Amino acid sequence: MNNSKLVVGIDSSTQSCKVEIRELETGKLIATSTESHPATFPPKSEQNPEIWWHSLKSAFTKAQKSHNFDKKNIISIGVTAQCHGLVVLDKNSNIIRPAKLWNDTESSLQSDFLINKYGKKYWIESTGSMIGPSFTITKLLWLYENENENFLKIKKVILPHDYLVWKLSNRFVTDRAGASCTGYYSIKDGKWDLEVLQQVAKNFDWQLVLPEILSPNEKSGFISHDAAEELGLKKDVVIAAGTGDQMASALGLGIEQGDYVISLGTSICVFSVASKLVLDLNGLVNCVCDSNGKFLPIIVSLNGTKVTNLFSKIMNRGLEELSNLALDFNPAEPKLYFSALIDGERSPNLPNATGTLAGITSETTINGMARAAFDGVLTPVIKNYKYLQNLTKNPMKRLIVTGGGAKSHAYKQILADLAQQEITQLDVEESAARGACIQAASATGHITVDEILKLWALDVVDLIKPRYQAGLTEYFSDFDICSGWRGLDRKSKS
């Protein structure tokens, strides 16, 4: 049996918990497993954090049973999870209520209140981001106004990855990347903004309820006695600080300045890395901290691959058939325009939006309908990518595609067709879990993140070129008309 030192990366996402075990020296993937989480349906999107811990244990156990490795060789664990989510614990560190997840938009009224009170410019310059219902601060205000009895029980306010790090190490800590997603972290000063939290609840000792912010590469500590017993691990296993999912994905992909990443999943993220703070006064780009001492300008959209899943059901076609129909669409045919805002939207902030399909004529074909589903997802992505590139002004290196949607040839090819440029896919299945492994390796103190990225360098597995040269200015203009219509938006709850 191989006696190489091993690190564990845990990615606790909205849909599932993924566990990876890798060799410290080479990054070689030794074992992996996944355990599902209960489905959520915005605008109310909640999960009990206890489920995350049970899924973590189950996935880890399955990985160990199905692959040949010795748990005694594990020296470190890194955790990544969905950003923004609100986890509240009482004086006994018990869960007060289910966690409100990043895609829960019930706090849209609270978001509007905070934006109107301070102004967009304040939020962008203070936190690096234009806050919206996804941000933790809006969920805290929602809790104060709607469940005050639960709010008054609060003794700890933490994020999803903080909860799992606490379960592993018995310490309440977070990292600067996660902190920068809350709406109450000063991205310029690098500390909690206690003054803005007083607008949620005055005379509340916020300093005591917030976790300690750790610096990049810093460890949370060693595994707790209980966690070591439950997972069957040695008591000297190091627990990393933890981080947000997209920050871990950036680590896992090893991106540099000039690389732009499109992560295709249930939601879609477009991001890059920057050495300096990037502020977008229009509020479309959020600039958060990354997990390696830099910054991560990012645009997050709610409606990703679930859109094509929906069309697959509506059209009674399997996903593979839907993909083939879309790929076989003739660009010379009349186009359909689908604004795929099926669950509202975060960027731009349209929590009550619904989808709009336009351009149907007697010549519309089933291929056109299938292509509209993919275009509805990817057209806003291309617009966001070009906007981000213009804002960062970094010389272009690579446009990288990752996430579950990157397994679909249709998504990759149509993305290249719409971008009118080459798309790069790297040899990584789960970039966030791999990033958690990298953070775990750096937390041992034996090697830096930059050294790990060189040792664990990724190969290119696919280069996707556009199938044809096309001028798409008119198409994007017509799409804007469709996506700008607000005639049948859901009514805002008062």
pLDDT band at 494 (very low <50, low <70, confident <90, very high): very low
When pLDDT is cut at 50, 70 and 90, the band that residue 374 belongs to is very high
pLDDT, position 41:
86
Give the residues across from 240 on adjacent strands: 219
Whole-angstrom distance, CA of residue 301 vs CA of residue 423: 20
Q: Are residues 200 and 183 in the same domain?
A: yes
95 pLDDT more than 80: yes
Question: What residues contact residue 333 under an 8 Å CB cut-off, 6+ apart?
Answer: 363, 365, 367, 368
Residues 417 and 471 in one domain: yes
pLDDT in tens, 439-477: 999 999 888 899 999 999 999 999 999 999 988 999 999
Same domain, 116 and 226: yes
Reported pTM? 0.90
Quick one: pLDDT at residue 144?
97
The residue range of the domain holding 386 is: 254-426+459-494
Looking at the structure, tell me whether residues 215 and 277 fall in a common domain: no
pLDDT level of residue 349 (50, 70, 90 thresholds): confident
| 240 domain residue, yes or no | yes
pLDDT for res 492 = 66
The answer, yes or no, to whether residue 2 has pLDDT greater than 80, is no
Residue range 401-414: mean pLDDT, rounded: 95
Domain annotation covers residue 362: yes
What average pLDDT does range 344-360 have in this prediction?
A: 91
Question: Number of structural domains, the chain?
Answer: 2
Catalytic residue among 11, 245, 259, 375, which?
Answer: 245
Clarify whether 328 is annotated catalytic: no
What is the rounded average pLDDT for all residues in the chain?
A: 95
Q: What is the CATH number of the domain that holds 390?
A: 3.30.420.40
Q: 198 and 266 share a domain? A: no
Mean pLDDT to the nearest integer, 380-393: 96
pLDDT digits (tens, 9 = 90+) for 224-282: 999 999 999 999 999 999 999 999 999 999 999 999 999 998 889 999 999 999 999 99
**Domain shared by 73 and 178, yes or no:** yes
> Tell me: the pLDDT tens digits for 279-311?
999 999 999 999 999 999 999 898 999 999 999
Q: Do 238 and 340 share a domain, yes or no?
A: no
